[in-house]
Amino acid sequence: MSEKARVAIFDTTLRDGEQSPGCSMNLGEKMLMARQLDELGVDIIEAGFPIASEGDFEAVRAVAAEIRRPIIAGLARAIPGDIDRAWQALRKAARPRIHVFLATSDIHLKYKLKITREQCVKQIAEAVRMASTFCPDVEFSPEDATRTELEFLCTVTEAAVEAGATTINIPDTVGYTMPQDYTRIITAVRERAELIRPVVISAHCHNDLGMAVANSIAAVEAGARQVECTINGVGERAGNASLEEFVMATRVRRDVLPYETAIDARQLYPASQLLSEITGVSVQPNKAIVGRNAFAHEAGIHQDGVIKNPLTYEIMTPQSVGVPDNRLVLGKHSGRHALARHCERLGYQFERRDLDRIYKRFVALADQIKTVEDRHLLAIIREDITTSVVPVFAEGKTAGLGRAAGTS
């Protein structure tokens, strides 16, 4: 695969992700997560927003001092005090990056910043120029880029590139855009920026309309070579683009997405579990890739297919993303094959006639409760054994009894 098809993964779990309600982390927790992100293979870790608090400053400084392989980024508004503070936190990093941002949409300029477009361009140029005196790796983000008039967006990004920015990020800050819109925006910005000099174009998408990963893919297809995302898709409001979903989309659909990342996919589930453990915020059961039900099957037809060959209903193996194994959930939609497998796992093997009898009792119970657990199934088996045993003394055996697996 060509070098041009390599996409850098910029993880902002420790910064944007931490802004998700209930997801704040202390210094020790941030260090645990940073080490896991390093193990995962992300290219850039955005460790925090140093000016935001003393805790954030110390966290960025600690991550920068310990984590040596990936780039360590610190966020800063386009204000001298922010930029200086970010550099003080990052200065011991092996590969530091200052990430400067300023809003550019008319609604933000008018109501939040109360400045003109001309003042906006001037502030961006001065801020990026200052940041580039501290380190050569400077990223600029025009906040609310996708609601910024396109010509003006190109103007501000050109100013940032001329001032020394090496990465231009195009944030869909409020999750407003559609893939076709984002393609047009990324293409225009990339073509205009490259007239000045080569830069990396980055995508940073929020999920307010459920389009974050789709928009990130659209950006890459339009020439972006960095994607900003978070573990479990955590982040402000509806969250950010999910790192695990973007990465596995490129792995599973290489036929239409010929891009590669440095991510060790086997670390995706461990990273997801660690974040949930640290924050206490559980992943929704049906979350793609890392949700509890991502590799769970209840429908009898699906269970039968998975037993015969997992590829019938699984487009990736659980092990490929670090999940120990798939799960055949016993519920009212389950079939005899799944029931037989569960019985065998519990130590019982049944002939077809006996299994049919247990299956009827199982279905009756499953109609009353959502999920039949091992304890329920054992109770059914034991009750069936008790009520259906018929002694056959001539053979020295007991008819109708399911025998423990592996016994004579």
pLDDT for 396 beyond 50: no
pTM confidence score: 0.81
The predicted pLDDT at position 61 comes to: 98
pLDDT for 320 beyond 90: no
The predicted pLDDT at position 305 comes to: 61
Mean pLDDT of 138-154: 98
Query: How far out from the chain centre does Cα 260 lie?
Result: 16
In a 3-state reduction of DSSP, which class is residue 254?
Answer: coil
Task: Name the band, by pLDDT with cuts 50, 70 and 90, for residue 300.
Answer: low
Query: How far out from the chain centre does Cα 287 lie?
Result: 10
The predicted pLDDT at position 275 comes to: 94
pLDDT for 128 beyond 90: yes
Task: Name the band, by pLDDT with cuts 50, 70 and 90, for residue 357.
Answer: confident
131: tokens are 């940041």
293: tokens are 């039900």
Measure the CA–CA gap between 239 and 204, rounded to whole angstroms. 11
pLDDT for 229 beyond 90: yes
The predicted pLDDT at position 387 comes to: 60
Give 291-360 as a DSSP string: STTTTEE-SHHHHHHHHH-GGGT-SS-GGGGT----EE--STT--HHHHHHHHHHTTEE--HHHHHHHHH
The predicted pLDDT at position 81 comes to: 98
Give percent of the chain above pLDDT 90: 65
Round the average pLDDT of the chain to a whole number and report it: 87
Mean pLDDT of 242-264: 96
- What is the 3-class SS of 191-244, one letter each residue? HHHCCCCCCEEEEEEECCCCCHHHHHHHHHHCCCCEEEEEHHHCCCCCCECEHH
pLDDT for 395 beyond 70: no
pLDDT for 398 beyond 60: no
Mean pLDDT of 164-192: 98
Domains of the chain, each with CATH number or no CATH: 3-279 (3.20.20.70), 296-404 (no CATH)
- Please state which of the ranges 140-149, 193-202, 376-385 shows the lowest mean pLDDT: 376-385
Measure the CA–CA gap between 349 and 154, rounded to whole angstroms. 69
Measure the CA–CA gap between 247 and 391, rounded to whole angstroms. 60
The predicted pLDDT at position 397 comes to: 39
Residue 403 or 212, more confident: 212
pLDDT for 384 beyond 90: no
216-225, 269-278, 342-351, 389-398 — which one is most confidently predicted on average? Answer: 216-225
End-to-end CA distance of the chain: 56
Residue 299 or 228, more confident: 228
Element (H, E) at 275: helix 268-279
Q: What is the pLDDT of residues 75-88, one digit of tens each?
A: 999 999 999 999 99
pLDDT for 52 beyond 90: yes
Give the count of beta carbons closer than 10 Å to the beta carbon of residue 371: 12
- Please state which of the ranges 12-21, 26-35, 301-310, 399-408 shows the lowest mean pLDDT: 399-408
- Please state which of the ranges 43-47, 135-139, 283-287 shows the lowest mean pLDDT: 283-287
